[in-house]
Amino acid sequence: MKATKCKTTKRKTAPSIANKQESAIISGAGMQDHNGLYTIGVDLSDRTCVVCVLDVLGEVVEREKVNLERPDLKALARKYPGARVIIECGTHSPWVSRWLTKHGMEVVVANPRKLRAIWQAEYKTDERDAETLARIGRVDVKLLRPIQHGSEEAQKQMLSMKMRDVLVRRRRDIINTIRGTLKALGWRVSNPDSARFHKVVLEQLPAEQHEVIAPCVKVLALLTKQIKEYDKMIEEAAAAHPAASRLQQIVGIGPITALYFVLKIEDPERFGKVRDIASYLGLCPRRDQSGDVDKQMRITKAGDSYLRRLLVSASQYLLGFYGKDCALRRHGLKLCERGGPRAKKKAVVAVARKLAVLMASLWKSGANYDPMRGCEELAADA
């Protein structure tokens, strides 16, 4: 059922917008660096959105609550052509930003971490949130640390990998539940690969215990089948993508990590320095410096959590028993030797950070991967 469209409009009768703009230019107030006379803050919810429109002098021209539907957003774009729209990053922000941009509006997607003025407000409403977005965007959009959403096609491909990840985690939860149930009954099963668990678990138990776990075993078989289908689809997509194929040369990087990395970044030239990608993925430590105090803090964990988890998993593989000898592995093991309560965790994050930078560098430069590059520096430091 569609939400009812209701308007609470406040319009200024005088002076006209043109006169206001002329006054603003003369006085130097309310100057904006974008085309159009309006800055619009849009607070998105699941079915509706609240719109607050500011004119060139920062006065509220209109407040409106509209349905979060494409025709309603298209009508907003026609009503305020060329206006700057500020929305907060969220579930609906990718398609909303693409739709409004397609219809001629300048869309800025605000980083939620930079909107403390909204989520820590003492009196918080959708109308106030929309107005706050508009006012901050009118002053300087850089204060919002704008987020760049990827294309619709990239989003669809990334969705298949996230759906696979959901199935893998559900399979793991079911396996752990079965193990716990059997232990409570006094039975233990071996620890095979997750993809084979449903094939061997019933063989290791007496017949009277089968009915307890048989339904879950059937679900495991279905999950494993679907995961294999996703794996095949992802491998084919990664093989068809030149950049993803190239990144799989790196030790520890498989088709899922390589393809998701390429789809998420899309253009390596968006980073002036390849090292900036580590900060983009939240793998750099926070900093709290004041005077002589410069605290050592944990990583920010900003950006895409799934991609960060993939890189951390690749790092754990590199530093694990089956990891192949390479410069990254030697660097991580050297960090582990420093000891301390969290040496291994710090080493894993450090290697994940270097992996991200290495992937961006190879993609950007087109150079071939040399697994032992940098070993000379490590030997010199030792």
Pick the closest to residue 95 from 32, 142, 159, 181 (CA basis): 159
Contact criterion met (CB below 8 Å) for 332 and 348: yes
What would the pLDDT profile of 31-73 be if each residue is shown by its tens digit?
344 446 899 999 999 999 999 999 999 999 999 999 999 999 9
pLDDT value of residue 207: 80
| Residue 26: C-alpha distances to residues 21, 48, 90, 357 (Å) | 9, 39, 39, 48
For residues 229-249, average pLDDT: 93
pLDDT over 50 (residue 18): no
pLDDT value of residue 67: 94
Beta strands 293-299; 84-88: pairing state: unpaired
pTM of this prediction exceeds 0.85: no
pLDDT over 60 (residue 13): no
pLDDT value of residue 20: 44
pLDDT over 90 (residue 147): no
Asked if residue 15 has a cis previous peptide bond (ω within 30° of 0), the answer is: yes
User: How many other β-carbons are positioned within 10 Å of the β-carbon of residue 149?
Assistant: 18
Confidence class for position 3, pLDDT limits 50, 70, 90: very low
pLDDT value of residue 337: 87
What average pLDDT does the chain have?
85
Confidence class for position 312, pLDDT limits 50, 70, 90: very high
pLDDT value of residue 378: 52
| Residue 129: C-alpha distances to residues 43, 92, 248 (Å) | 6, 16, 44
For residues 252-270, average pLDDT: 92
User: How many other β-carbons are positioned within 10 Å of the β-carbon of residue 237?
Assistant: 18
What would the pLDDT profile of 313-370 be if each residue is shown by its tens digit?
999 999 998 889 999 999 999 998 887 778 899 999 999 999 999 999 999 988 888 8
